[in-house]
A and B are shown apart, each in its own frame.
Chain A
Amino acid sequence: DAGVIQSPRHEVTEMGQEVTLRCKPISGHNSLFWYRQTMMRGLELLIYFNNNVPIDDSGMPEDRFSAKMPNASFSTLKIQPSEPRDSAVYFCASSLSGQGGTQYFGPGTRLLVL
């Protein structure tokens, strides 16, 4: 089992640039979650999908953030334009309905916006 796959693992960009983070959930899982983790705010849920449909995006900080899940095996989180305060580790997690909320996390993407 490959686990949740995220890319890139590290991203350094300049303020104003577009950033796209990618996630491949565990095969067969039908729920996908995007989180952001910072020292100041801890781990925050940004958005989650169930069967490729966004269920709750109330954690998305601003219109600069958008997420898509075009199919069951791929999701993107896009930041446009990026700002220094977006610097954080972004985690993707997936779960299987009926497991009662056990989410399996990817390795994370460490984003630094200069």
Chain B
Amino acid sequence: EDKVVQSPLSLVVHEGDTVTLNCSYEVTNFRSLLWYKQEKKAPTFLFMLTSSGIEKKSGRLSSILDKKELFSILNITATQTGDSAIYLCAVRTGSSNTGKLIFGQGTTLQVKP
């Protein structure tokens, strides 16, 4: 059975700290791994990773994929209270152009002032 596991499930840090969120997966027919941020409403897209070892970066957020060890990390540096959210990792599988996404449980991040 395909599965995506995130850790930790929850994390509390102070502003300015750096955090690393983990996502490991076991799926057949891997196509890509995606990170989403969910605040009070719907998830919003952060990154899509398809190749190992290539870091994607957006401001204070960065992510990298290791297809050999089957995991990805999401780093947030100099955290701010606005980073408080649930961070979802999802793996796309399937042979069609879109396939389906299998989500992890999410990591709930709380950044305190």
Binding site secondary structure of chain A: strand
Q: How far is the CB of A35 from chain B (nearest CB, A)?
A: 8
In the assembled complex, which residues on chain B have CB atoms less than 8 Å from the CB atom of A95? Answer: 98
Q: Is the CB of B105 within 8 A of A42?
A: yes
Q: Is the CB of B105 within 8 A of A100?
A: no
Partner of A101, one of B44, B101, B106: B101
Q: How far is the CB of B21 from chain A (nearest CB, A)?
A: 15
B-contact bits for A67-106, CB 8 A (1 contact / 0 none): 0000000000000000000000001000101101111111
Q: Given known contacts A101-B32, A102-B48, is B101 in contact with A33 (CB within 8 Å)?
A: yes
Bound CA span A104–B88, Å: 14
Interface contacts beyond A55-B100, A100-B31, A101-B31: sample of 12 additional A-B pairs, CB < 8 Å, sorted by A: A31-B98, A42-B103, A43-B88, A45-B102, A48-B98, A50-B97, A50-B98, A98-B97, A101-B34, A101-B92, A104-B45, A105-B44
> Would you mind naming 27 contact pairs between A and B with Cβ atoms under 8 Å apart?
A31-B98, A33-B100, A42-B105, A42-B106, A43-B43, A43-B88, A43-B106, A45-B102, A45-B103, A48-B100, A50-B96, A56-B100, A91-B42, A97-B98, A101-B34, A101-B48, A101-B98, A101-B101, A102-B48, A103-B34, A104-B45, A105-B43, A106-B42, A107-B41, A107-B42, A108-B41, A108-B42
Contacts from B to A (Cβ < 8 Å) = 31-32, 34, 41-45, 48, 50, 88, 92, 94, 96-106
Contacts from A to B (Cβ < 8 Å) = 31, 33, 42-45, 48, 50, 55-56, 91, 95, 97-98, 100-108
